[in-house]
Amino acid sequence: MVYLTKNYRYLKGASEEHVSEFLQLIKYVSGSYDSGEGFEKLNKEISDYEMSNNSGSSRRLFYLALPPSVYPSVCKMIRTYCMSPTSRTGWTRVIVEKPFGRDLDSAEELSSQLGELFEEDQLYRIDHYLGKELVQNLLVLRFANRLFLPLWNRDNVDNIQIVFREDFGTDGRGGYFDQYGIIRDIIQNHLLQVFCLVAMEKPVSLKPEHIRDEKVKVLQSVNPIKDEEVVLGQYQGYKDDPTVPDDSNTPTFASIVLRVHNERWEGVPFILKAGKALNSRKAEIRVQFKDVPGDIFKCKKQGRNEFVIRLQPSEAMYMKLTVKKPGLEMATEQSELDLSYGMRYQDVKIPEAYERLILDTIRGDQQHFVRRDELKAAWQIFTPLLHDIDAGKLKAVSYKPGSRGPKEADELSEKVGYMQTHGYIWIPPTLA
C-alpha cells in the first residue's frame, strides 16, 4: 500500500504496465495533515484500505514536496502515527523533494532531524534529473564502451559544458523562486548530479552504494569556486512579479566553472550553466576535445571534436567531427555521427523521470537517489558562493528575456577554453 501525498500528476504519463502496478498501490491523499489527529486519521485510512484490499503486507510510501522547514514536523507525524507495522514484507519509505535546505548548515540540520526519525534506507531524496533516460545512460556510455575509456580525461578533453536552458520565466512562482534562485533550483542539484556521472571514476559495481561512493569522491575533489569564474544574471521583468521584492538580487541565470582536483580532470573546466527566460529550451552535456596536434589539414578554425548528449528535448547523442567534404577537392568540413532517439527507437516510449523513480522507490532501489553525504558534499561546493550572493557581494547582471542570457557568460566560456564551432549546419535526417 502506497500513499502519495503530492505529485500524483507525474504518474499520468506513465506506461500502462507501470500504471497498473501503481494503481494497486496508490491512493492519492489530497487532504492536509497538519496535526496528530490528521495523521491518526490518515493511518486509519491506510489500514482500512489495506484491509479492504486484503493486501497482506503494509507498504507505505510518502511523497513529500514541502518547504524544508515543514519536513521535520511532518516526518515526525509519519513516524509517530503512520509507520508500517513490522512485517516481513512491509516497509515505510519517504520520498523527499528538494529543496533540501538552503545551505550547508540548514541541510545538515535537516538531515540530522530526518536521520533521527528514519533510517537512511527509508529516505529517498529525489532529483528527477536522475530519472531522465540519457542521464541514466551515462554510466553505460562511459563504462561499457571501449571507445570512450582512453578519451575521457585531461589529456584529450579541453572543457565540458553542462547546460540547462528554459525559454520561460518563473511564471507566477516568483515568490517561491526568489528565496532560492537558479543555483539552488537547478545547478546545486540537477546539474551537479549530471556532473557527478560525467566526472566520477568507475564504480566497483552497479550497487547503489558503490555508485554513490564514487559520486561523493568526485564532489569532494572539486576546488572552491572562484568569483571570477562565475557570471550571474537576472532577466528584465523578473521583478515585475508582485511576489518578488523590488531589490531582489536573485539570479535567474548562472554560469559557474567547477574545477576538479584529481588525476583525471586537473585543468579541465566544467562549465555549469542554467538560465530561465532564454531563447531556447534544452538540457545537454557538451564534451569538447582538444585540437589535433600537428594539424596538416589546417582545419582548426572549423571547430573541434565535440560529443553532445542532449537530455531534452528530443533525446540525442552526436559527435561533431571533421570529414572530407564529398567531391573532387581535398577539403574538410564539420559533420556528425548522430544517434537521435526519435529515429533509432521509433516504437519505444521513454518513461517519465518521476515514473521511473517512484517505481525504484517501490522496489527499494536507491541507486538514483541522493545519499546524505552526497548532499553534504554538494552543499559544501556552493555554500560560500551562495552566501556571497545573499550578502550582495556578487551582483546579477540584467539580460533580455528571450536572449542567450548575459554576454559575459559566453565570454567566460571562451576565457576558460570553449571554442565555438562556426559554419556547422545540421541537416536533420528525414524519416523514410
Q: Using CB under 6 A as the criterion, what x/- string covers residues 118-137 for binding ligand LXAUTJHC?
A: ----------x---------
- The phi, psi pair for 247, rounded to 5°, reads -100, 20
Smallest distance from ligand NDP to CB 223, Å: 23
In three-state secondary structure terms, 165 is strand
Q: Could you give the string, one character per residue 77-96, with x where binding to ligand NDP holds by CB under 6 A and - elsewhere?
A: --------------------
Q: CB count, 10 Å around CB of 251?
A: 28
Q: Restricting to residues 331-350, which ones interact with ligand NDP according to CB under 6 A?
A: 336, 338, 340
Interacting partner of 185 out of ligand LXAUTJHC, ligand NDP, none (Cβ under 5 to 8 A depending on kind): ligand LXAUTJHC
Among 350, 410, 416, 417, binds ligand NDP (CB under 6 A): 410
* Minimum CB distance to ligand LXAUTJHC smaller for 9 or for 298: 9
Task: State the minimum distance, in angstroms, from the CB of residue 45 to ligand NDP.
Answer: 48
Residue type, 182: I
Task: Select from 71, 109, 381 the least CA-distant residue to 223.
Answer: 381
Q: Which cell is 171 given?
A: 511564471
Binding to ligand LXAUTJHC in span 144-203, by CB under 6 A: 166, 185
259 dihedral zone (left: phi>0; alpha: psi -120 to 50; beta): beta
Rule CB under 6 A: say whether 50 interacts with ligand LXAUTJHC: no
State in angstroms the smallest separation of the CB of 69 from ligand NDP: 35
When the beta carbons of 164 and 265 are compared against ligand LXAUTJHC, the nearer one is: 164
Q: Which residue has the cell 580525461?
A: 153
Whether residue 128 lies in the annotated active site: no
Q: Contacting ligand NDP (CB under 6 A), which of 11, 130, 160, 163?
A: 163
CB of 133 to ligand LXAUTJHC, least distance (A): 12
Per DSSP, helices labelled H in 54-103 are 71-81
Q: Which does 14 bind (CB under 5 to 8 A by kind): ligand LXAUTJHC, ligand NDP, none?
A: none
| Radius of gyration for the alpha carbons in the chain, expressed in angstroms and rounded | 23
DSSP class of residue 349 equals P
Residue owning grid cell 563504462: 143
Angstrom distances, CA of residue 364 to CA of 6, 61, 357, 359: 20, 11, 10, 9
| 424 near ligand NDP (CB under 6 A) | yes
Does 315 contact ligand LXAUTJHC by CB under 6 A? no
| Total count of residues recorded for the chain | 432
Question: Considering 128, 190, 210, 387, which one is annotated as catalytic?
Answer: 190
Distance CA 48, CA 40 (A): 12
Cα gap 386→227, rounded to integer Å: 11
Site residues (CB under 6 A) for ligand LXAUTJHC, limited to 277-296: 283
Three cell numbers, residue 393: 557581494
Angle at 72 between CA 66 and CA 77, to 5 degrees: 95
Exposure string of 197-219, with b = 16+ CB inside 10 Å and e = fewer, is bbbbeebeeeebeebbbbbbbbb
Query: In angstroms, what is the minimal distance from the CB of 398 to ligand LXAUTJHC?
Result: 20
Give the footprint of ligand LXAUTJHC on this chain (CB under 6 A): 128, 166, 185, 283
Catalytically annotated residues:
190
